[in-house]
């Protein structure tokens, strides 16, 4: 068919962008990329705020980090990175503590001057109630990592606000993301490389697909049969990479996968710096939002281009997503996991359709993981599918 490209990609997030870039570079394919939104970049999209000069991450804070040399080399082809190192603070009981929980947090909390060995011994004793058990859920994992007092101060209420699911129902892996350290290292991520794209996320993404063989169609809904780039018109006729919600693809025929969504409330202050840091978490239940993001502070290297007298802050609220909401985080209870398996088996039977990304595989991925899976999926599945095309 002359009118069809060699590959259609549904979703212009990091999975789709990486596949588009690879398809053109490795096979010279003509690619059409669709997105229902009016911009590329998926949830990593950002824009510059006129009043303050802040780069606003429209779907919440995105911090790039990776320990994969392949991924780090790949992303550096399209952007340089600032020397930003992510550090977070949390407010608990009217006091500000460093996160992730480290020796500074422990000593401030217990008003002590424990050495690493002393702090470890104390935590071991406090975690003793679960001694010998392999923690299977977030509650048990939290207590066994840091003991009940610290768990209840910094994890329990925050997690309740963020997930609105009983912590004993949540997978332990959610907080395995957060390291616990018995030294004063307060870096949030333990990866080899981290930083923010020097000219912003959107400039990075535009460079990935800056090629005449890639056409991006924005505001196009793949499930809207009144426009030509829809599912029934394309699947089976052209290879498709689908990065939307997997349950949506199958018209929710076996039920809905559960997601958490995030709402933001914007505040503007007539001051240069409101929190003194980019991210302030609120550990207690009296503050209804989980955290506040002060975007200017992600990019101190841009001070000269920022307004010294104004700042913009987004308060982040978390709740269950309905079908109409933007899905952010898979909730991943046992019943969600088995429902996903059902959809995943259906997906395997779709002719020439590859599912990818956070939404397409119901996975709590960071940006670097999405890029890694896109590169792998391209090599393993998509490139062979395109073989034979010019
Ligand atoms: N968490 C917490 N207190 C905090 C920060 C994180 O209890 O102050 C827990 C919470 O359960 C959260 C998980 O750790 O879901 C992972 O946090 P992370 O900051 O990685 O979440 P993300 O930024 O991806 O939403």
**What is the percent of the chain where pLDDT is above 90?**
84
Q: What is the mean pLDDT of residues 363-369?
A: 95
Question: Catalytic: 263?
Answer: no
- The model's pLDDT over 159-204, given as tens digits with 9 standing for 90+, comes to 999 988 888 888 888 887 777 899 999 999 999 999 999 999 999 9
Cβ count within 10 A of residue 315: 18
**What is the percent of the chain where pLDDT is above 70?**
99
- Active-site residue among 177, 267, 303, 323? 177
Q: What is the mean pLDDT of residues 232-248?
A: 97
Report the chain's mean pLDDT, rounded to a whole number: 94
Domains of the chain: 7-40+209-254+331-386 (3.40.50.720), 88-176 (no CATH)
Residue 390 in this model has a pLDDT that exceeds 80: no
Written as six digits, the tokens of 213 are 């063989």
Residue 2 in this model has a pLDDT that exceeds 80: no
Cα–Cα–Cα angle for 327, 196, 321, nearest 5°?
10
Residue 216 in this model has a pLDDT that exceeds 90: yes
With beta carbons less than 8 A apart as the criterion, state whether 106 and 85 touch.
no
Strand (E) positions, the chain?
A: 7-10, 31-35, 46-48, 55-57, 64-66, 88-92, 95-99, 193-195, 214-218, 240-242, 259-269, 279-282, 291-294, 311-320, 329-330, 353-355
Of 168, 134, 128, which Cα lies nearest the Cα of 149? 128
- The model's pLDDT over 21-71, given as tens digits with 9 standing for 90+, comes to 999 999 999 999 999 999 999 999 999 999 999 999 999 999 999 999 999
Rounded Cα distance between 186 and 102, Å, is: 6
Residue 347 Cα to ligand 1 midpoint, Å, equals 31
- Substitution candidate for ligand 1 out of 178, 319, 329, 331 with most atoms within 8 A of CB: 178
- Active-site residue among 30, 181, 248, 358? 181
- Active-site residue among 260, 343, 362, 365? 260
Q: What is the mean pLDDT of residues 99-119?
A: 97
Looking at 76-80, 140-144, 210-214, which range is the least confident one?
140-144
Per-residue model confidence (pLDDT) at position 174: 82
Q: What is the mean pLDDT of residues 357-386?
A: 97
- The model's pLDDT over 304-348, given as tens digits with 9 standing for 90+, comes to 999 999 999 999 999 999 988 999 999 888 899 999 999 999 999
Residue 213 Cα to ligand 1 midpoint, Å, equals 40
Residue 388 in this model has a pLDDT that exceeds 60: no
């Amino acid at each position: 068919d002359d009118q069809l490209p060699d590959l259609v990609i549904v979703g212009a997030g990091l999975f789709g962008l990486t596949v588009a870039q690879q398809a053109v570079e490795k096979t010279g394919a003509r690619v059409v990329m669709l997105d229902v939104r009016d911009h590329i970049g998926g949830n990593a999209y950002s824009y510059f705020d006129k009043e303050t000069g802040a780069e606003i991450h429209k779907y919440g804070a995105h911090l790039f980090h990776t320990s994969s040399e392949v991924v780090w080399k790949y992303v550096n082809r399209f952007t340089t990175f600032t020397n930003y190192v992510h550090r977070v603070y949390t407010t608990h009981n009217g006091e500000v503590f460093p996160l992730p929980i480290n020796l500074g947090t422990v000593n401030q909390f217990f008003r002590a001057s424990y050495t690493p060995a002393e702090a470890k011994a104390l935590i071991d004793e406090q975690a003793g109630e679960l001694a010998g058990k392999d923690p299977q859920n977030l509650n048990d994992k939290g207590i066994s990592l840091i003991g009940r007092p610290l768990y209840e101060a910094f994890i329990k209420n925050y997690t309740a606000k963020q997930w609105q699911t009983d912590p004993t129902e949540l997978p332990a892996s959610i907080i395995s993301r957060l390291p616990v350290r018995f030294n004063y290292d307060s870096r949030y991520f333990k990866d080899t490389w981290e930083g923010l794209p020097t000219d912003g996320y959107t400039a990075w993404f535009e460079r990935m697909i800056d090629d005449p063989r890639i056409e991006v169609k924005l505001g196009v809904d793949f499930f809207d049969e009144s426009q030509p780039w829809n599912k029934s018109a394309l699947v089976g006729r052209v290879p498709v990479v689908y990065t939307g919600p997997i349950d949506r693809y199958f018209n929710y025929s076996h039920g809905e996968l559960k997601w958490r969504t995030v709402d933001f409330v914007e505040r503007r202050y007539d001051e240069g710096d409101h929190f003194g840091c980019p991210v302030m978490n609120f550990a207690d239940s009296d503050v209804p939002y989980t955290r506040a993001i002060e975007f200017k502070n992600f990019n101190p290297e841009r001070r000269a281009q920022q307004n010294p007298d104004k700042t913009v802050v987004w308060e982040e609220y978390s709740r269950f997503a309905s079908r109409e909401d933007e899905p952010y985080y898979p909730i991943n209870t046992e019943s969600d996991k088995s429902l996903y398996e059902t959809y995943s088996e259906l997906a395997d039977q779709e002719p020439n359709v590859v599912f990818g990304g956070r939404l397409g595989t119901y996975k709590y991925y960071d940006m670097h993981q999405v890029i890694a899976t896109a590169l792998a999926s391209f090599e393993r599945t998509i490139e062979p599918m395109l073989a034979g095309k010019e």
